[in-house]
Amino acid sequence: MASIVDPHMGFVSYQQALLDGSIRPTPCKSHPELFVMQDEPEPGAQRLTYAFNSGTVSKAYAVYTQEDFLNGKPCFGVGYATAEQFRNQGLATEIVMASMKELHQGMARHLREPGFYIEAIVGADNPASQKVASRTLSDSPDSILEDASGLPALHYIKLVV
């Protein structure tokens, strides 16, 4: 049966790559534990991964991918996950807020006009991620059927200026 993509699977891969030293994220200036890594998982597909790292342990991460333009502005899809032992501590909300701030600072100098969108598609059966998206992106999501799986989901959008 089809399912909505689970960012936790990518988080597990990120954690393993951090442990084995195959990635070396760069520290961000805005937060002492925030690190960033840019890559291109497929030709032409840019991805930014932000994580709260402490040595070789990652507590939480947020991944941004380039999406189609929305209202003439760039749009990034975001997914986020928290390591099981660090859940229920507010880290998912904190990583999304910190990474959006860092992304805004990095994007501002590259945009012809201010602003870009961030969107999250969260499964209707995922109340924990819905809380994070409501706190960080929008408290009035649209109910949709997720494209790939056809499952009920909520679509959250925020204009970042």
- The answer to whether the CB of 85 falls within 8 A of the CB of 11 is no
Burial class (CB in 10 A: 0-12, 13-18, 19+), 143: exposed
Confidence of residue 61 (pLDDT cuts 50, 70, 90): very high
Annotation: CATH topology of 7-160? Aminopeptidase (3.40.630)
Q: What integer pLDDT is reported at residue 108 of this predicted model?
A: 80
pLDDT of residue 103: 94
% pLDDT > 90, the chain: 84
- What band does 42 get if pLDDT is binned at 50, 70 and 90? confident
pLDDT, tens only, 88-125: 999 999 999 999 999 999 888 878 788 999 999 999 99
